[in-house]
Structure 1
Amino acid sequence: MDLDDFSLDPSVAHLNHGSFGAVPNQVGERQEELRREVERNPDVFFATVLDRIAKARNEVAAFLGGEPEGMAFVANVTEGVAIALNSVPLAPGDQILITDHTYGAVEIAARRSAERAGAEVVRVTLPGQADGEWSGEEVAEVFLGAVTPRTKVAVFDHITSPTARLLPVGRLVDGFRALGVVTIVDGAHAPGMLDLDLSELGADFWTGNLHKWAFAPRPSGVLAVAPAWRERVEPLIVSFYQGDGFPRSVEFQGTGDYTAWLAAPYGLRLFGELGAHAVRGHNNGLVARGQEILAEIAGLAPWRADPELSMRVLRLPHGVAETTPRAEALSAEIFRKLGCRAGIRAWPGAGLVRLSAQLYNREEDYRRLATGLGGILGG
């Protein structure tokens, strides 16, 4: 597959796949067929859609190594985390642990849940602030060490969004379980990028996006719930099928657009036909080369990388993009002047450039960004 197999603008160097993904044309065409089917006979479609969602969910669960009865489709991880937090009762004085790498919308959801209950959010600083240099054991020691008798919930990433680091998720889930802490894992980037076995992981709540790295249309995510919590899941919106319990109570929202969920298995099948190992190998190797190119040409400092990930990070010069407004302004300038889309993230002291790689990318995309970025930063 290459750029012609996607609907992306060929004049742009798309180096930010991790933010919104990109839908292969053949998967998008399947979703359009489903939309036409809805309009031909809406009454029949909505009368049968729950069974079709369940069938699609079976296929997704097999892909993720989870149980279909313990998994629900959601729009995205932001919704999945919000449902999980809504389902865990909090009391005044309870604590929710997050990290300084937590995705912004997830942190907002945690703080809102805490505020409603009179609880507290504790933001734990992980090691490696300057260059992402840490070991999994160091991360586990710091994060688990923040637990107090008041800690009720720990919310953490499978793969961090702003910094593209793989956290020791299995170690953290086991450690928090032993301490009696509920785990909510933000797995936004994990489906497709990693070979997953959610049943073995055993988190209380795990949520991931299928539209980032698994070729599914947007918006399509999943929320996997451990058996002990399934009867206690509280959807954000009351459903006609509330009495049926999880997962139907979460999935059915009346006349919603379910075509992304129904087309998601076609993305997973395409991923399998291309070969998961081959796709991941291409992406991981290319993004590593992209990081080298930006370090060599633009003089940026590379962060520690996890070789099994399709994203890499470099640090911008001191004082550049260290706040969200400045990061957004730099991102807009890069697009306007260079025709490149990269993930520019605010970080204390100096912002970060997050690169992604997908089958439509080539080495010259990274050279284009690196060559032009030097001029922008110099100016």
Structure 2
Amino acid sequence: MITDVEILNEFAHHEPGVARINNGSFGSCPASIIAAQKQWQLLFLRQPDEFYFNHLQPGLLSSRRVVQALINASDVDEVSLVDNATTAAAIVLQKVSWAFSEGVYSRGDAVIMLHYAYSAVKKSIQAYVSRTGGHVIEVPLPFPVSSNHEIIDEFRKALSLGKSDGRRVRLAVIDHITSMPSVVIPVKELTKICREEGVDQVFVDAAHAIGNVDVDVQDIGADFYTSNLHKWYFCPPSVAFLHCRKSPVSDDMHHPVVSSEYGKGLALESAWIGARDYSSQLVVPQVIDFIKRFEGGIEGIQRRNHEKVVEMGKMLAESWGTCLGSPPEMSSSMVMVGLPGCLRIFSDEDALKLRRHLRHNHRIEVPIYCKAPRDVELGREWSNLVTGYARISRQVYNVTDDYYRFRDVINRLVDDGFHCGMLS
């Protein structure tokens, strides 16, 4: 099994002295995988023709087979490798856009997404769906949240709204783990509801899922499922997979970048989009070897990360007199922790300024989320009004001192009378 010293060596390229508790945004790639990536890059640079004709496609197929096993896909042809989950969303939404443009879907038919969908996916829905006549409905999710039932109830209400006035709900976009605020969504249950209510297609945006929670695409039952391999699965940026369940719809899915492979299936189209660096996609088998060095493999890593981040989240909340944003069973390797109300985080700009202050002045990297106060709350004491949450992550390279540093810095800011209004 890998030792603590070996883990430190694998991530020695991290900037020293930074409490890096934000694995969720960009992930982190170990040194041994960076070395494997460099070998693939050199193989291409030494003799590009040899690489393209004899190494690229077999290498990508090996990576796709690894992903197939990881997610329990029924066929390797259902798995395509793409740059990131945003690219996967573009592929799915492009197909929806064509259906509106070609009259397969009627103007005003609905697409449903969660209110906390990732901003790039929201923009993609605007670009591909709204412009071609689709009606977009956002599911308003509660936060803080205490149970899956709250999410399921709001989702059912949105489906009813989507089906009103004779509309059809053509697509539901469901996050497996929302980004900000971070909450594990009951995707299997919501997919089942979509089937019962006649929703045409279900797309699960699981950007944070693989390596973070268990993924079984056959059990979830969605039509499309995507996840980044560079966030929680130790791959270098950027690489993701898109799983398309076999159907007449998936047979006509295409990569937005059209190459000479157009028409040969999405997996092959995605495997050649011109001369580019494919090394991130090619090292997936080597990542498996890295993960096997840990007790329990990826399941053991996930379990330990989850248990530790919940423990640290509770420690922070107790120290600050706040609370977690969701119960532990609705958290992954990321937890939302309420920040003291006296910090006066009243806008997204305040949250960004505080995050920048923590980075530049205290060498702590952590995202801050603002839950804007309602008008009726503004009269309450600042110290009792939790309007900001920190999203803390835990990955194998983190140590307990990272979170203690964060705790102590926030406590010092509070003791000094600091608030976000002081930041320019």
TM-score category (smaller protein): over 0.9
The aligned runs of 1:280-295 (5 Å cut-off) are: 280-295=302-317
Q: 2:9 corresponds to which letter in structure 1? A: D
Corresponding position of 1:310: 333
The aligned runs of 1:1-379 (5 Å cut-off) are: 1=4, 2-6=7-11, 7-48=13-54, 49-66=56-73, 67-88=75-96, 89-90=99-100, 91-127=106-142, 129=143, 131-133=144-146, 135-147=147-159, 148=163, 149-181=167-199, 182-228=201-247, 229-274=249-294, 275-307=297-329, 309-318=332-341, 320-349=344-373, 350-376=387-413, 378-379=417-418
Worse-superposed segment, 368-377 or 219-228: 368-377
Q: 1:70 corresponds to which letter in structure 2? A: E
Aligned equivalents of 1:269, 1:187: Cα separation in 2: 24
The normalised TM-score by structure 1 is: 0.94
8 Å CA contact 2:320–2:339 kept in 1: the answer is no
Aligned equivalents of 1:83, 1:321: Cα separation in 2: 37
Residue 293 of structure 1: how far off its partner (Å): 2.5
The normalised TM-score by structure 2 is: 0.84
8 Å CA contact 1:291–1:302 kept in 2: the answer is yes
Residue 43 of structure 1: how far off its partner (Å): 1.2
Aligned equivalents of 1:224, 1:271: Cα separation in 2: 22
Worse-superposed segment, 312-321 or 285-294: 312-321
> For residues 101-129 of structure 1, what are the alpha-carbon distances to aligned partners after superposition, in whole Å with 9 as ceiling and x for unaligned?
211111111122222212221111123x2
Distance 1:242 1:365, change over 3 A: same
Residue 320 of structure 1: how far off its partner (Å): 3.8
Aligned equivalents of 1:362, 1:325: Cα separation in 2: 30
Aligned equivalents of 2:367, 2:284: Cα separation in 1: 25
Aligned equivalents of 2:327, 2:281: Cα separation in 1: 32
Q: 2:299 corresponds to which letter in structure 1? A: H
8 Å CA contact 2:93–2:129 kept in 1: the answer is no
Aligned-residue Cα RMSD (Å) equals 1.8
8 Å CA contact 2:320–2:340 kept in 1: the answer is no
Q: Which SS does the other structure have where 2:283 is aligned? A: helix
Worse-superposed segment, 260-269 or 135-144: 135-144
8 Å CA contact 2:113–2:137 kept in 1: the answer is yes
Residue 322 of structure 1: how far off its partner (Å): 4.1
> For residues 157-210 of structure 1, what are the alpha-carbon distances to aligned partners after superposition, in whole Å with 9 as ceiling and x for unaligned?
101111221111111111112222111111111101122211222211110011
8 Å CA contact 1:18–1:356 kept in 2: the answer is yes
Q: Which SS does the other structure have where 1:212 is aligned? A: helix
Distance 1:337 1:362, change over 3 A: same
Residue 316 of structure 1: how far off its partner (Å): 3.0
Distance 1:320 1:96, change over 3 A: farther
Q: Which SS does the other structure have where 1:312 is aligned? A: strand
Aligned equivalents of 1:297, 1:53: Cα separation in 2: 48
Q: 1:218 corresponds to which letter in structure 2? A: P
Aligned equivalents of 1:70, 1:116: Cα separation in 2: 29
Q: 1:185 corresponds to which letter in structure 2? A: V
Aligned equivalents of 1:322, 1:281: Cα separation in 2: 34
Alignment size in residue pairs: 376
Worse-superposed segment, 234-243 or 275-284: 275-284
Residue 317 of structure 1: how far off its partner (Å): 4.3
Aligned equivalents of 2:32, 2:400: Cα separation in 1: 25
8 Å CA contact 2:254–2:262 kept in 1: the answer is no
Identity of aligned residues (%): 29
Aligned equivalents of 2:138, 2:337: Cα separation in 1: 24
Q: 1:114 corresponds to which letter in structure 2? A: V
Worse-superposed segment, 354-363 or 302-311: 302-311
Residue 137 of structure 1: how far off its partner (Å): 3.1
Q: Which SS does the other structure have where 1:238 is aligned? A: coil
Q: 1:310 corresponds to which letter in structure 2? A: S
Any stretches of 5+ residues in structure 2 without a counterpart?
101-105, 374-386, 419-424
Aligned equivalents of 2:178, 2:370: Cα separation in 1: 14
> For residues 205-252 of structure 1, what are the alpha-carbon distances to aligned partners after superposition, in whole Å with 9 as ceiling and x for unaligned?
110011111111110100000111321213211121002122112331
Q: 1:323 corresponds to which letter in structure 2? A: S
8 Å CA contact 2:354–2:368 kept in 1: the answer is yes
Aligned equivalents of 1:111, 1:295: Cα separation in 2: 37
Distance 1:10 1:282, change over 3 A: farther
8 Å CA contact 1:70–1:227 kept in 2: the answer is yes
Any stretches of 5+ residues in structure 1 without a counterpart?
none
8 Å CA contact 1:217–1:264 kept in 2: the answer is no
